[in-house]
Amino acid sequence: MLLLLLLLLLLLLLLLLLLLLLLLLLLLLLLLLLLPLLLLLLLLLLLLLLLLLLVLLLLVLLPPPPPPPPPPHLLLLLLLLLPLLLLLLPLLLLLLLLPLLLLLLLLLLLLLLLLLLLLLLLLLLLLLLLLLQLLLQLLLLLLLLLLLLLLLLLHHHHHHHHHHHHSQ
């Protein structure tokens, strides 16, 4: 019984370790998958910034010779900038959200791990209780059997003796 219990404990521990390893591997995979995405986003942001700088440089380097055209120029600049800004905003949001999502995933995985650990501990406790109960029952049975044997022996012996005495 004790050997069985130990074996069960060892098996559960091994399972736990395997689960931990799997979770770590999953986390690594997630990080690896997210890294290229983050890099791509950063590159896109850089490109957009470069474009903006180029536009600004062009505007600065090519000042309008006549005074009336600046408004259209500014309008053009605004028109150019608006889509870029519209593009930039979701990208920035994504960049801000990605680490948060990662953290949430990590937290969820940790919670799952803790739940698994708790479940395993509960299972172990149940197993221990069951085994203890079985052991107690076995001990009780053994004690009862011993008592019965003793009683039988005593009774038999006593009865025999009495009978013998009576016959004499």
pLDDT given for residue 94 in this prediction: 81
pLDDT in tens, 89-126: 888 888 888 888 888 888 999 999 999 999 999 999 99
- Model pTM score: 0.35
pLDDT at 145 over 90: yes
Evaluate whether 109 touches 27 at the Cβ level (below 8 Å).
yes
Q: What is the mean pLDDT of residues 136-151?
A: 94
Cα–Cα dist 157/56, whole Å: 117
CB burial readout 63-81, b (16+ within 10 A) else e: eeeeeeeeeeeeeeeeebe
Q: What value does the mean pLDDT take over residues 116-140? A: 92
The tokens describing 159, both together, are 């009865």
So where are the chain's domains?
2-58+71-123
Q: Within its chain, how far is the Cα of 88 from the centroid?
A: 34
Q: What's the pLDDT tens digit per position in 73-92?
A: 777 787 888 888 888 888 88
Q: What is the tens place of the pLDDT at every residue in 2-55?
A: 888 889 999 999 999 999 999 999 988 888 888 888 888 899 999 999 999 998
Q: What CA–CA distance (Å, rounded) separates 120 from 128?
A: 12
Does the pLDDT at position 66 exceed 80?
Answer: no
